[in-house]
Amino acid sequence: MSIQPAETWTSRVARYAIWVVLFTAWEIAWRTIQWPAWKFPAPSHVVDAFAYLLGLSTNLSGSVATHPQGGFWSSAMLTALWVSLTRLVAGFAIALVLGVLLGGAIWRWIWLNRLLGPLLLGLQTLPSVCWVPLAVITLKLTESAVIAVMVLGSGFAVALAMRDGLAVMPPLYERAGRMLGATGWRLWRYVLLPASLPAMTGALRQGFGFAWRSLLGAEMVLVTTGKGLGYLLLAGRELGLAADVVAVMAMMVVVGMSVDRWVLGPLDARVRQRFGLR
């Protein structure tokens, strides 16, 4: 985060008001034009679908006639969210460890960077869903296949972000460390690793976006016994339930934004603050 003046209350109100205005306009437009809801839903349909998928009954649109079976805790949306988040944590952890190690290695050994750098860059440009066919063929329809797509879809991004983050680290740190007698693992433990924290949090933030997108893409194409949010989106499409589709998309946005805003953002800010980068 760069230097920003404290947010005034008016701009804060405006920031939330824009959503209200947007959704109200959409709702009014829908009520005026009366598009068929199964082709293009209004916010009220989406809210109803969201509630339905969470096992709750609302009827803002006045077009819901059935009650969801099962309660909130066994609802489709919550189950899918749980499945997706579990996969995210598992897959992202693997991608992070491998990516950080690989990124550190190609930063440390310049010949390795020359050897692998272009390859990594090339693989990173490959959209993550393009890994799905290979994952399905080799790993069949398993959790491992989903995790593999996530790791391959985000690991390279993490590695490159890590390398680039390390590259801007002042070389003075390493020289000072050596001056003070740090060599071998001590140099890493007390100098290089702490100094690479900003690079790591940067890689973390960058990698999360890739991992989350890879996961949802994989879940839409690769159906296993665990049904995540991507699967729920696919189900909405196959059943022609447009409001469900938008509701699931909204959930995906909420998760992505929340993780960045409440977990990774603050972490990044804290690290940068400690390093005097803000």
Residue from 166, 211, 235, 259 in contact with other proteins (CB under 8 A):
235
Applying CB under 8 A, the span of 19-27, 155-163, 210-218, 233-241 interacting with other proteins comes to: 233-241
For residue 48, give the amino acid letter.
D
CB closer to other proteins, 32 vs 39? 39
Residue from 2, 8, 32, 66 in contact with other proteins (CB under 8 A):
66
Cβ proximity of 103 and 161 under 8 Å: yes
49 binds other proteins (CB under 8 A): yes
CA distance 233 to 142: 19
CB of 10 to other proteins, least distance (A): 23
Q: What's the angle, vertex CA 168, arms to CA 105 and CA 104, rounded to 5?
A: 10
Applying CB under 8 A, the span of 47-55, 85-93, 101-109, 260-268 interacting with other proteins comes to: 47-55
Residue from 60, 78, 94, 234 in contact with other proteins (CB under 8 A):
234
Residue 96: exposed, middle, or buried by beta-carbon count in 10 A (0-12, 13-18, 19+)? Answer: buried
Q: Can you give 166-196 as a three-state secondary structure string? A: HHCCCHHHHHHHHHCCCCHHHHHHHHHHHHC
Contact set with other proteins (CB under 8 A): 36, 38-39, 48-49, 52, 63-66, 68-69, 76, 136, 140-142, 223-227, 234-235, 237-241, 243
